[in-house]
Amino acid sequence: MIMMTSRQWLATAAGVVILLSLPLFLPNFWLVNIFGRAMVYGVVALSLTFLAHYGGFVSLAQTMVAGVAGYAVAMMAPTAIPLGPLAMPYFAAIPLALLAATVAGAIVGMIAVNTREIYLLMITLALAVGLSLFAQSNITWFRGYEGIRNIIGPEVMGLPFRTPLVFYYVALGVAVSMFLLVLYVVRTPFGLVLQAIRDSDRRAAAIGYYVGLHRIASFALAGFIAGWGGVLITFYNIGITPSSIGLWATVAVLIMAVIGGLGHPLGAFIGALIYTVMDTFASSIIGHDRFNTLIGLVFLAIVLLSPDGVWGLGKRLSTALGKRPQVNADRETSL
Amino acid sequence: MSASPSHSSELPALMLEGVGRRFGALRAVSDVTLRIEQGERRAILGPNGAGKTTLFNTICGDFPPTSGKITFFGTDISQLKPHRRARLGIGRTYQSSTLFSGLSVRENLYLAVRAMKPGRFSLLKAGPGHADLRRVQDLAQQVRVEHILDTRIDAISHGQRRQVEIGMALAGNPRLLMLDEPAAGLSAAERPQLVALMAELPRDLTLVLIEHDMDVALANSEKVTVMKDGEVVVESTSDKVADDPMVQAIYLGEGH
C-alpha cells in the first residue's frame, strides 16, 4: 500500500523543498512570470495528461473547461469591471467556479463519451472553439471582446493576491495538490477502473463496469483540476477575454502536455515551464520578427528527439545509465 | 451481487430461443435455440466463421441479438448492457487476451472482484488485509498465478494470461462461466494444467466453452453443440459426438 517508491518520495520531497525555497534566490519576475505562470498553466495541462495517460483519450476541451471556471469567477468577482449582477465575495465565487468547471467537464464527457481518437479530438476542439466564439459575441454575460477586467483575486492574510510571494506560493500549493491528487486517484478503485477501460473497454464492461459512466466521471474530475488552473490564470491575467480560451490557448496547453511528455503527470509541468521560458525569452534572443520560428523549432526538436516528450527522454536516459535495472521499478505499487 | 444458485429451481441456466445476429447483410448467427441446464458443461464446436464467438457476444451483450430471446435463469437479458449481464452472474473470457495490460495481475484480479460490489467509483484505497485483497489471493491460488501477482500483464506469458482471464471471470462468483477458446495458443505443457483447472471448478457452476481442440472440449463437457454457418447443426453428448458423420465431415474437412 505504498503510493510511490522511497526513491520517488525522496525526489518529490527534494523537489518541493527546492520550489519552496526559490523565492530566496529568484527575482519576482522569475517567481511570478516564469514559475508561477508555468505552474498555473501546468495545472490545465495536467488535466489533459491525466485523461490522456490514464484514460487513453486526448481532450482538446481542457482549456475551454478552465475558461468556464475563469469566466465563472470573473462574473462573480466582487472587484470585476464591469461588475456583474452575481457579484459575491471571492471565498464563495472560487468554489462555485470550480463547481462550474467540474460540471462543464462532465458535460464534455457526456457529449464525447462514445467517441475515440480523431473523433474525440474533433468534438472537443469544436466545443472549445464554440465556447470561445460564444464568449466573443455575447455581451450580456461574457462582455464580448473586452472580456471582464480587474479580477485581482482575494486577499491572502491581508496581502493582495498579486503580491509575488502570495501568488507564487498559492500557485505552488495548488499545483502540488493537483499533482498529488492525480497520483493518488490513479491508485484508487476509480482510477484503476479508468486505466482498465483504457486497456480494454470491452473487458471492463464484461466484468461489470459501466464504461460510459466512468468516462464521464473522469472528464468531471479533469474539469475540476482544469478549473483550479482556470481560476488562477484569471487572477494572473487580472481578467479574462475570449482569446484566453480560444484556439491558440488550446494549442498552447496541448503543446505543453506533449513536449513535457504525456507519460507522467510531471510532464505537464515540465512542458509548461519550457513553454513559458520559450514564450518569454525567444523574442529577446532572436528578435520580434522570428521568435515564433525559434519556438517552433525547439518544440519540433523535442518531439522528434523524444516522441514521449522531455519526461520520456529523462526516463530513457536514466535507464541507459543503469539506474533502473528492472522493468517495473519505476512503477508505483498500489495494493 | 454474487447470487448463490438456487438448487430448487427448474429454470435452465441459459435459454436461447430463435436467437440471430446480423451485421448488415451478414447473418453471423441465425435462429439458434439452446437450452443449457444449471451445472451443465457444454462445449460449442465448429469451424472458423461458424458464429461461435458471435453467439458468445450475443449472450454476454457485446453485440446484443438482432432477433430472438435470451433468458438467464428465467430473466430476459436479450437487450441488457454487458455490465448488467455481468452483474447478474455471467462471467466470460475472450478469445484473444484482452486483459488490462498496463496493470499488474493483482490489479486485474482486484478490479474484477470490485466490479460486483458498490463503490465502483470509490476514491478510497483498500487497506492491507482487506477482504477484497484476500479474495484476490484466493483467486490467484485457484488459477495458479499467485507467484506473479505483482507483475504487469504485458510481462507475463500467454498461458499465464489465459489463467488470469479465467480468474477474472470467476471473480464475481458467476452462475454461468463462458470460456472462448481457453486452450488457444497454449503449449502442450500448459494444456493439462488448464484441463485440471477447469475440472476443479465448482459443480453447480454452469460452463459453456468454445473450443477448437476436440480433446480439450470433450474432456470438459457433457454435451456438445456443433455450429456451422451461423446455425446449430448437431447437438449430442460428448461421448457420441465424434461418431456423428456431420462432425466428422466438418473436422476432417478442415484438416484436423
Asked if residue B102 and residue B83 are part of one domain, the reply reads: no
**What pLDDT is recorded for position A335?**
59
Q: Does residue A205 lie in a domain region?
A: yes
Q: Do A200 and B119 touch (CB under 8 A)?
A: no
Q: What per-residue confidence (pLDDT) applies to A233?
A: 96
pLDDT over threshold 90, residue A311: no
Same domain, B62 and B36: yes
Cβ–Cβ below 8 Å for B112 and A207: yes
Cβ burial of A190 (10 Å; 0-12, 13-18, 19+) is buried
| Number of domains composing chain A | 1
Residue whose grid cell is 519526461: A311
* Total domain count, chain B: 2
Residues B256, B179 share a domain: yes
Nearest chain A CA: its distance from B83 CA (Å): 4
Q: Which has the minimum average pLDDT: A291-295, B70-74, B111-115?
A: A291-295
Out of A208, A217, A331, name the one closest to residue B87 (CB).
A208
A202: nearest CB among B62, B102, B106: B62
User: Which of the listed residues B150, B173, B196 is the one where a domain comes to its end?
Assistant: B173
Structural domain contains residue A87: yes
* pLDDT 10s digits, A94-122: 999 999 999 999 999 999 888 888 899 99
CA B228 to each of CA A94, A157, B55, B115: distance values in angstroms, whole numbers, following the listed order = 64, 78, 12, 35
Chain A residues within an 8 Å CB radius of B110: 192, 335
* Final residue in a domain of this structure, among B154, B173, B192: B173
Q: A331 CA to chain B: closest CA distance, Å? A: 10
State whether B112 and B165 are in the same domain: yes
Contacts across the A-B interface (CB distance below 8 Å): 116
Task: Please indicate, yes or no, if residue B125 is contained in any of the structural domains.
Answer: yes
Q: Which residues pair with B41 in a beta bridge?
A: B207
Q: Which residue of B has its CA nearest to A208?
A: B83
* Same domain for B198 and B168: no
The residues, ordered by sequence, that sit 6+ positions from B178 with a Cβ below 8 Å of its Cβ are B56, B59, B60, B90, B91, B92, B93, B169, B207, B208, B209
Say if residue B113 is in the same domain as residue B165.
yes
Buried b (16+ CB within 10 A) or exposed e, B185-220: ebeeebbebbeebbeebeeebbbbbbbbbbebbbbb
Q: Is the dihedral of CA B133, A180, A55, A3 positive or negative?
A: negative
Q: Is residue B5 part of a domain?
A: no
Q: What is the pLDDT of residue A93?
A: 93
B135/B165 same-domain check: yes
> Does a structural domain hold residue A227?
yes
> Is the confidence at residue B255, as pLDDT, over 50?
no
- Are both B118 and B233 inside the same structural domain? no
Q: Closest chain B residue to A329 measured between Cα atoms?
A: B151
Same domain, B223 and B118: no
Q: Which residues of A touch B170 (CB under 8 A)?
A: none
The verdict on residue A211 lying in a domain is: yes
pLDDT of residue B206: 92
Structural domain boundaries, residue B236: 10-89+174-256
| Those residues with Cβ within 8 angstroms of residue A87's Cβ, 6 or more apart along the chain or in another chain | A76, A77, A78, A80
Question: Does the distance separating the beta carbons of B121 and A214 come in below 8 Å?
Answer: yes
Q: Is the pLDDT of residue A332 over 50?
A: no
pLDDT of residue B208: 92
Of A1, A190, A211, the CB nearest to B123: A190
Q: Which domain holds residue A101?
A: 6-244
pLDDT tops 90 at residue A62: yes
Measured between CA atoms, how close is A41 to chain B, in angstroms?
26
A279 inside domain: no
Rounded Cα distance between B219 and B198, Å, is 10
Residues of A in contact with B119 (CB under 8 A): 189
CB A108 within 8 A of CB A31: no
- Contact check, Cβ <8 Å, A205/B101: no
Asked if the Cβ–Cβ distance from A211 to B83 is below 8 Å, we say yes
